[in-house]
Structure 1
Amino acid sequence: MTFYNRSAELTTLEEGFEANTHSFIVVYGRRRVGKTELLKQFCRDRPHVYYLAAQEAASQQLTKFVTQIAAAFDDRVPRIDSWDEAFDYLGDKLESESRIVVIDEFPYLIDANESILSYLQSFVDERLQQTDAMLILCGSSISVMESEVLGHKSPLYGRRTQQFDITPFNFRDARAVIDYDIEDAIRSYAITGGTPMYLTLFAYSQTLAENISSQVLSQNSLLYNEPEFLLRTELRSPARYLSILEAIATGHTTPNEIAGMTGINSGPLSKYLQTLRRLRLIERETPVTVSSPQSKRSLYRIADEFLRFWFRYVEPNRSSITEVPDIVLEETILPDLQTHVSTVFERVCREVVWEAVRRDELEPYGTVGRWWYGEHEVDIVGLSPSDDRILFAECKWTSSPVGQSLVDDLKAKTEHVRWGSPERTERFALFSKSGFTEGLADELDASWTLFDLQKIDMLTSPSN
C-alpha cells in the first residue's frame, strides 16, 4: 500500500532513533489505519529486526522470532527453547550492534503466552536500557494494548518512552489519497472515512457509484464484511454490538432509543456502549456549552464514517444486496446519500473552522462543536471564554444556494444558546455546497463569514 501522511509520527520516530539512548515505543490503533506501513516506512534504509506475530502456537512464534533476529544480524540460527533465552540472545546482539526491533501484532504473543510480558520487562530493564536500540511493540487490539501493555497493572507499565495512538485521517489528510474534485471528495470521504486502507481501495478514475458497487456491495470485496471482521478481532460475541451500532447509525442516538431499538436493558447496554467507546467505534457527544461530560443531554454517534455508511445501507439490505445489488444502489443508497453526506459535511466544516483559525481567517476559539437543546440545534458553535466571544455556524449540503432565510434562522437560534455574558461578542459563519444567493455577501456585516466549496477546497487541500 502506498504510504501517505503520518509525517509527524515519522519525525518523532526518527528523533528517537537519533538520540543517544534507548527507546521503548508502543504503537497501537484500529486495524487498517496504517500502523504497519508507518513502521515499514520508518525502518526502510535503517538497520532493523521486524517480526510479525501470528495466531499460532507459542513454540512456532518463538522459532520465527529467533530466526528473524539471526537473519537481521547475519547469524546462524541458534537453538533456543524459551522466550527469556530469546530476549537474552537479542540483548547480546544489540550490545554489539544497535537496531530497531519491531514486534508487530504483539497481542498474538500475549494470547499464546502471557508470561512474555514479564520476559519483556526484564529485557527492557536489564538489557535494552544499556543500549541505544529502539524496541517498538505494535498492535491492532486496542483493548489488549491499553490494558496489557500500557495499563498500570502491566509488567511493562511506566517503561515506555513514547506511545502512538494511530487514528484515521481527517478530511484534509485523506485528500492526499482522494483524487476527486471537492464535492465528490466529500461524498467519497463520507463513505470510506479516513481509514487509509479503505481510501486506497477506491479507484478514483471511476465514478463514486462504481466504487460503491465494486468495493462495498460486491460480496467478494474486503469492505462487504469488514465491520463484522473488526468486531470479531476484539469481541468474542459481536452480535449485540452489531445491533447497537446499527441502531445508532439509523438515528437512535440516546440510550433510551438504543435500548428500545435493540431490546437490551439499560444496565447491560451501558457496558456495551462503554466497550464500543473504548474500541473507538462510537463517540459520546454533549452540547459544546455543557461542561459536564456526564450530562443527560449526551448522544452517541458512530465514530467512523464507513461504519456509519455500512450500518445504514449495507447491513439492513444484506438479502437484497445478495440478489440485486444494482437495485439497492440505485433505489436505496444513491437517493438517500445526500442525507448521509450532510452529517459528514458538518464534521468537514468543523475542520475548516479550525484551519481558518490557524490561518487567522477566523478569530480563535478554544472549543468547537455542536449544540442542541430540545428542538433547537446549531451545527457548529465555537467558544472563546477569555474574550466572551461565540461563533454560530450552519452547514448546508443542498442543491440550492443559501440565502437570507438561513441568516434569519441562525440569528433566531442564538437567543436559545445560554453561554457567556449578555454583552458577549457574536460571530457567524455559513457553509454551503451550492454557494450563496446573489448579493447576500454584500448585505451581511463583518461579523459574518461565508464558506462556499471553493473556499472549503482551498482550506482543506493538503497542498495549501
Structure 2
Amino acid sequence: MAFTGRGRELRVLGSWLDKVLSAGGGSAGQALVVKGRRRIGKTRLVQEFCARSGRPYVFFQATRGRPAPLSRQDLFDAVAEGEGMGEHGAALAHAAPPEDWARTLAALAAALPADEPVILVLDEVPWLAEADAGFDAALKTAWDMHLSAKPVLLLLLGSDLAMMDRLTSYDHPFYGRAGQYTVGPLSPADVQDSTGLEAPEALDAYLLTGGFPEVVTDWREGESVSGYLRRQVEDPSSVLLTTGERSLAAEFPARLQAGRVLRAIGSGERTFSGIAASTGGADGQPLAHGTLAPILNELTEAKKIVAADLPLSTRPAPKLKRYRIADTYLRFWLAHLENAVAQAERGRGEVSAARISRSWASWRGRAVEPVIREALLRRLPDDLFPEVNEVGGWWNRQNNPEVDLVGADAQPVAGAVHFVGSVKWRDDTPFGARDLAALSTAAERVPGARGAALVAVSRRPPTDAAARGLTACWGPDQVVDAWR
C-alpha cells in the first residue's frame, strides 16, 4: 500500500527523535506512547518514520494470544534482524531470552548501542500485557534502570485505547515516563492529495472513507465519487465494504449489545431514550438504563467510537445530550454498507449503489457538520473572531430549531456567543435569502446569541443578497485548507 499524507505525524515523531539526538529531554532515552483506532495506520506510519530516519531501528510486533516465552524470543529475533543494528543485533542472534520480561528487557537494553541513537518499537503492547500480567512492571523497571540511560527512542504502540491510556495513568508503573500521541485518520487535505479531487468532491471522499489509509489508497486518482462507489459495492471483498466489519469484529468480539447500540446510533438514533428503545428486547421493552449507560460510556470514553454532544450556549443543558458515530468511515458503513456485502455476493451491487444514491444528499448534509466544526476550530480564533475557542451546535428538546454552528469562548457553557451559523451542503442550490432568514430567526432562540454575527458554510457560494447579511461564509476550499 502506498504511503500518503501524514506530514504532521512524521514531524511529531521527528521531534521526539530530536530530543534523543540532543539529549535535551533530561535523559538520554525518550519514550512515547502512540495510540489510535485499529486499522488507522499506526504501524505503517511508524515503519515509514523509522525507514526515513536513517537511524538503526528495531521493530517488534506482538501477536495476540502468543505465550510470553515465545514473545520474548520474538523480541530477541527482532533485535537481531533490526535495521542497521549490526554487531549489536548479532549479540542476541542466537541467544535464548531469560524466563521473565524484566531480565529480557534488561538484556535487550544491554545490546543497544550506547553511543548511537536507535529507535525501538514495541507494537501492540496491550497484547503483551494480556499474555503476562507482569509485563507493565517489567517495562517500568527496565526503563528506569537500563533503557532510559541509552540514546533510544522507545515507541509503544497499541490499538486498545483504554489499555494504552492506563499505561501512563497515575496508578500505573509507567506513569510519568512517556509522552502520548494519538494517531487519527488521514485528514481531508490528505484525502484530497491522494485522490486528486477538487475540494467539494474530496470532502465527499473523506465522508465515505473516513480517512482510513487502506480505503483512501484504493481510490483511483481523479475517480468520481459515484464511480468509486459503484466499483466498491460490486466487489464483496473491496476495502470499503470489508474494513468496517473487520474493525467492529476486532473491537467488539461477541459484544452483541455494544454492536446493537452502535447500529442504533448509526441508523440515526441520537438520544438516550431513542437508542434504548431501538435496542430493546424481543418484548419491545427499551434497554434498561443500567445496561445502556455503561455501554455508551465505554463507546464514548474508552473506545471513542461514539461522541456525545451538548448544545452550546450560555445556558447549561446537560439533559439534551446527543450521540453520534465519531468515526467518519464507520458512520457511513453503518448507515449504508453493512448489508452491501450480501448484495455484492449476489452480483447485485447496483442495488446498494442506487440505495446510497437516494439517501446520499440528506445523509451527507448531517454527516459533514462535525467535519466542518472541526475545520472551523482549526481556523479560529482569527482576526474576525478573536475570542472564539469553541464551535458546536445548539438545539432544544424538540429540535426546533436545530442550529448547525455556534461559535463561543468556552463549552459546554459559554460566557459569550460570538456567532451563529448554518451549514448548507447542497450540490445545486446556494445559500440564499430564505436560508439567511431562517438562520436569523433560529439565532434569536439561542441563549446568549443576541447581537451575535451570522455565518454560513456552504458547498456553493451564497447569493449576493444572502452574502450581504453574513459576517463570514466559508466554502469547501477553506474547509479542506484548515488541515494544511
Q: Compute the TM-score of the two structures, normalised by the length of structure 1.
A: 0.89
C-alpha RMSD of matched pairs (Å): 2.6
Q: Which of residues 49, 73, 93 is equivalent to 2:111?
A: 93
Q: Which of residues 63, 69, 78 is equivalent to 2:95?
A: 78
Q: Give the Cα separation in 2 of the matches to 1:351 and 1:403.
A: 24
Deviation of residue 324 (structure 1)? 4.7
Q: Give the Cα separation in 2 of the matches to 1:330 and 1:68.
A: 46
Structure 2 partner of 1:51: 60
Kept after mapping to 2: 8 A contact 1:175/1:461: no
119-128 or 63-72: which moved more? 63-72
Deviation by residue 1:33-79 (Cα, 9 ceiling, x = unmatched): 22123322332211111111113232321111112223332414212
Deviation of residue 101 (structure 1)? 1.0
Q: Secondary structure at the match of 2:195?
A: coil
Q: Secondary structure at the match of 1:189?
A: helix
Deviation by residue 1:271-309 (Cα, 9 ceiling, x = unmatched): 1111111211100010112676x8110010000121111
Kept after mapping to 2: 8 A contact 1:10/1:38: no
Structure 2 partner of 1:415: 444
Kept after mapping to 2: 8 A contact 1:25/1:137: yes
Structure 1 partner of 2:309: 285
CA 1:245–1:340: 2 relative to 1, 3 Å: same
Deviation by residue 1:175-214 (Cα, 9 ceiling, x = unmatched): 3333211221121111111233322222234332232233
Deviation by residue 1:104-155 (Cα, 9 ceiling, x = unmatched): 11222122222222221210111123222222211112122223x2233432
Q: Which of residues 381, 384, 388 is equivalent to 2:406?
A: 381
Q: Give the Cα separation in 2 of the matches to 1:348 and 1:173.
A: 14
CA 1:8–1:392: 2 relative to 1, 3 Å: farther
Q: Give the Cα separation in 1 of the matches to 2:108 and 2:313.
A: 54
Q: Secondary structure at the match of 1:180?
A: coil
Q: Give the Cα separation in 2 of the matches to 1:250 and 1:307.
A: 11
Deviation of residue 22 (structure 1)? 1.5
The alignment status of 1:195 with 2:212, answered yes or no, reads yes
Q: Give the Cα separation in 2 of the matches to 1:130 and 1:259.
A: 53
The alignment status of 1:36 with 2:62, answered yes or no, reads no
Structure 1 partner of 2:456: 430
Identical aligned residues as a percent: 25
- Give the gaps of 5 or more residues in structure 1: none
CA 1:37–1:290: 2 relative to 1, 3 Å: farther
Q: Secondary structure at the match of 2:170?
A: coil
Kept after mapping to 2: 8 A contact 1:353/1:362: no
Q: Give the Cα separation in 2 of the matches to 1:268 and 1:356.
A: 40
The alignment status of 1:23 with 2:30, answered yes or no, reads yes
Q: Which of residues 168, 171, 175 is equivalent to 2:192?
A: 175
220-229 or 240-249: which moved more? 220-229
Structure 1 partner of 2:319: 296
Deviation of residue 247 (structure 1)? 0.9
Deviation by residue 1:369-422 (Cα, 9 ceiling, x = unmatched): 1111131111101014799452011111222122211111111112211126xx
Q: Give the Cα separation in 1 of the matches to 2:374 and 2:138.
A: 44
Q: Compute the TM-score of the two structures, normalised by the length of structure 2.
A: 0.86
Kept after mapping to 1: 8 A contact 2:241/2:341: no
409-418 or 38-47: which moved more? 38-47
What amino acid sits opposite 2:461 in the alignment? G
Kept after mapping to 1: 8 A contact 2:209/2:240: no
What amino acid sits opposite 1:195 in the alignment? F
Q: Give the Cα separation in 1 of the matches to 2:182 and 2:308.
A: 19
Deviation of residue 172 (structure 1)? 3.5
Kept after mapping to 1: 8 A contact 2:236/2:342: no
Q: Give the Cα separation in 2 of the matches to 1:182 and 1:365.
A: 25
Q: Give the Cα separation in 1 of the matches to 2:159 and 2:348.
A: 32
What amino acid sits opposite 2:134 in the alignment? S
Kept after mapping to 2: 8 A contact 1:217/1:314: no
